[in-house]
Structure 1
Amino acid sequence: MTHQTDRADHAVPAHLRPSATFDAATIHEIQRAAATGLYDIRGGGAKRRLPHFDDLLFLGASMSRYPLEGYRESCGTDVVLGARHGAYPLHLDVPVTIAGMSFGALSGRAKEALGRGASEVGTSTTTGDGGMTAEERGQSKHLVYQYLPSRYGMNPDHLRQADAIEVVLGQGAKPGGGGMLLGQKISERVAGMRTLPQGIDQRSACRHPDWTGPDDLTIKIQELREITDGEKPIYVKVGASRTYYDVKLAVHAGADVVVVDGMQGGTAATQEVFIEHVGIPTLAAIPQAVQALQELGVHRHADGVQLVVSGGIRTGADVAKAMALGADAVAIGTAALVALGDNAPRWADDYAALGTAPGYWDDYQDGTDPAGICTQDDTLAARLDPVEGGRRVANYLRVLTMEAQTIARACGKAHVRHLEPEDLVALTVESAAMARVPLAGTSWIPGAGIASGAPGGW
């Protein structure tokens, strides 16, 4: 009898049919839960298949549209973030930014490398939870300071040193929930910055301690403006769930920029049940956010509110599709770490010793990342050269930008922000309904014009 192998330690008879509901991974999780009595904590983002940017296609110019010649006609990529109230908005050369990832989750060298890479191409990076490191500030031309519910490492002087402030109300991987930083990653330096005991697990709060409703956000934004003399643009970041309402409330509270993070976004560590079962896909969140901004009259105006989208951005095509749906810029996290060298094949033996392999992130919350990026182990961290890592990140950001430009030119656009929903079609009914663009080969947008109880209506 022939056999098929699903694990290295045993074979499964070929005639046995696996269950779609109780597959091998599900059975393993049930067995793990039964043995330990603990829920699973892991890093990374959702692994389940979700409608995403791959389910959309661009309608390139041919006869009815006039394409731009890539070698002779320019296509702009610059973006201004935070001009609504901020005295000094961020002027970025490319519309791809680095999302918030903390020192603690990442090594100091990794934070420095991200700053170097972002600065080389003229874009911004973001601190994440746990405060600002000297390396990151020193190497970042544009640095956004995250103001989180935990208040870990919060320093008024650092608020003033930042170029913008991002008030984090939620994250795509865990809207409504807080994250974790396991004790093995709380080194002496991390503990000192966060005022925590060294080596003890830390759980971040799921809401701000002085937050009881939307009106409190207005007060908080006013306080932050007073602390920084009104010079810093204020971002508000929400995890994609009730996006339409959340964006409207953020704008009413005074946000200059709204960041919407879809459930494909990663996280340092949280419950797997959160990562896979809470939130909505990035593709579904963008049109809701855009509709909210349009109804308030602040979408893509010179003094309006900019929309930054994150959660699963990987390629220049993803960048272009997010912008065609209405984003002004995007933010990358997991992809930036891969560009730095995470999951590099040269560390395959070390990954195998951990029971994992290049291309998987399940146990990075343990601080054992062989590439020296998601760790506080000095020996592992020393494997990462921040100068070389910064160069890799810069190269990756340039490629994303050039790919987005290539698509924009093919659609006849002289700037990537000129891309629009009309340039897109969908491959599936689900993606057409979520993105609110026609199913390919038809003029049908599922749900369009039908009265419904959906947030914002269609």
Structure 2
Amino acid sequence: MDQHRPRTVPRPSATFDDYTLSEIRRAAATGIYDIRGFGAKRRLPHFDDLLFLGASISRYPLEGYRERCGTDVWLGTRHAQKPIHLKIPVTIAGMSFGALSGPAKEALGRGATIMGTSTTTGDGGMTREERGHSETLVYQLLPSRYGMNPDDLRAADAVEIVIGQGAKPGGGGMLLGQKISERVAGMRTLPAGIDQRSACRHPDWTGPDDLEIKIEEIREITDWQKPIYVKVGASRPYYDTALAVKSGADVVVLDGMQGGTAATQEVFIENVGLPILAAIRPAVKALQDLGLHRKVQLIVSGGIRNGADVAKALALGADAVAIGTAALIALGDNDPAFAAEYAALGTVPGCYDDWQDGRDPAGITTQDPDLAARFDPVLGGRRLANYLSVLTLEAQTIARACGKSHLHNLEPEDLVALTVEAAAMAQVPLAGTSWIPGSG
């Protein structure tokens, strides 16, 4: 054989990439599926695939620092006697005590209160840290019923019935035993240190008729004072939104598959649900068909990162957005400053591969008292408030450039898409054309 014959450079498989190979080897060695936190990591059509059309001759912009651009939003105006009025349309999504530490929940409340917005309890009940520092607190009622009691429903400012979550629509969550401390176990009526799996469906109803009864029960418990939200994971957004509204919801919360979770199966996170970009317009269409758009409010979540994302979600028809993972990062989670400690866990900052194990060196997603003590909730609250302020200012900057005096005046006409897929999902024209794929 000719020793000087050129060798072909090995080409890795796009199908069997390094991560896929490592997962096959891990599955073969352990016989169990992988469980992790975070949301979908695969590349999905997202808000980055949309652009705004700023004003020039055909539109009249607003002067950035002299002309007002409103940001407030009312939630729960349909039935509640005490709807919620927020100063900004960015809320904090439900993240449980158990998944998060007590100081982290306190920081979320502090930051949200500074900016005049709301926090949400998550699974596992209401903590004194969050209620004590949240001016506006939404109480989540989940299939598990962990920590649920009527007194907490009355102490909340709104109640959110969780049907599904974007990372796992149709599936329940998990909280690993390492994070079930004595306090968490007591709130959830569980044995300490044992893995806990949340139910995938509510135990006392099987469809929209039963949901209507449940909403009526909660209204009676709260004396018709509190707005009732219904949260769904994005899968069939038109019908789920319509049924939630017909069941009596004041607010619909729609969570896309980029939304995070404390822990669930990797195969679920990456292969079930819809990107939030594909879910907003069908939900809005359902509200419009019922004559209730803006009367029943729509909150969307799942991958909101910056003010442009906020503005795009509102332009597509949402009334507000919710952030979860971004809020944790703002608090200081997965910070490169802890790179050495993340490496010892077998991961790197930003990947969230092992944060559900309760060993978070930032002290945010843990129940370890020594780790939690590292986190300063006052500083964390200020950091979150700074981040929320930037999101709002960025969204206002875009709105003014489009000639809008309120963020809710943004509309699909202000947007174009960079890809055929995004144009079809968001139902806005492909850039440089008037063509909306699927419109005829």
- TM-score > 0.5 by shorter chain: yes
Aligned match for 1:435, one of 426, 431, 437: 426
After superposition, residues 244-283 of structure 1 pair within 5 angstroms as 244-283=238-277
Counterpart Cα distance in 2 of 1:43 and 1:236: 23
1:424 aligned onto 2:418 = no
Match in the other structure for 1:236: 230
Q: Secondary structure at the match of 1:445?
A: coil
After superposition, residues 339-418 of structure 1 pair within 5 angstroms as 339-418=330-409
Counterpart Cα distance in 1 of 2:246 and 2:374: 46
Q: Secondary structure at the match of 1:44?
A: coil
Aligned match for 1:224, one of 218, 225, 235: 218
- 1:209-255 Cα distance to aligned partner (Å, 9 max, x none): 00211100000000000001010000000000011000000000000
1:104 aligned onto 2:95 = no
Counterpart Cα distance in 2 of 1:307 and 1:242: 15
Counterpart Cα distance in 2 of 1:61 and 1:289: 28
Q: Which amino acid aligns with 1:407?
A: I
Aligned match for 1:56, one of 46, 50, 57: 50
Structure 1 pair 420–14 and aligned structure 2 pair: CA distance change class (3 A): farther
Match in the other structure for 1:143: 137
Match in the other structure for 1:211: 205
Q: Secondary structure at the match of 2:262?
A: strand
Aligned match for 2:169, one of 175, 192, 215: 175
Most deviating of 15-24 and 160-169? 15-24
1:119 aligned onto 2:119 = no
Count residues with an aligned counterpart. Answer: 434
- 1:133-172 Cα distance to aligned partner (Å, 9 max, x none): 0010000000000000000000110000000000000000
State the TM-score, normalized to the length of structure 2: 0.98
State the TM-score, normalized to the length of structure 1: 0.94
Q: Which amino acid aligns with 2:98?
A: G
- 1:171-206 Cα distance to aligned partner (Å, 9 max, x none): 000000000000000000000000000000000000
Counterpart Cα distance in 1 of 2:107 and 2:317: 30
Alignment gaps of 5+ in structure 2: 1-6
- 1:17-68 Cα distance to aligned partner (Å, 9 max, x none): 1100000000100111111110110000100000000000000001100000
Q: Secondary structure at the match of 2:37?
A: strand
Counterpart Cα distance in 1 of 2:317 and 2:40: 24
Counterpart Cα distance in 2 of 1:266 and 1:28: 23
Structure 1 pair 14–372 and aligned structure 2 pair: CA distance change class (3 A): farther
1:19 aligned onto 2:13 = yes
Match in the other structure for 2:184: 190
* Alpha-carbon offset, residue 14 of structure 1: 9.3
Please tell me the root mean square deviation across aligned C-alpha atoms, in Å.
Answer: 0.8
Aligned match for 1:314, one of 290, 294, 305: 305
Q: Which amino acid aligns with 1:177?
A: G
Match in the other structure for 1:45: 39
* Alpha-carbon offset, residue 15 of structure 1: 2.0
Counterpart Cα distance in 2 of 1:284 and 1:60: 23
1:331 aligned onto 2:325 = no
Alignment gaps of 5+ in structure 1: 1-12, 450-458
Counterpart Cα distance in 2 of 1:291 and 1:345: 42
Over 2 Å off, 4+ runs: none
Counterpart Cα distance in 2 of 1:355 and 1:34: 19
Counterpart Cα distance in 1 of 2:39 and 2:125: 23
Q: Secondary structure at the match of 1:235?
A: strand
Percent identity between matched residues is: 80
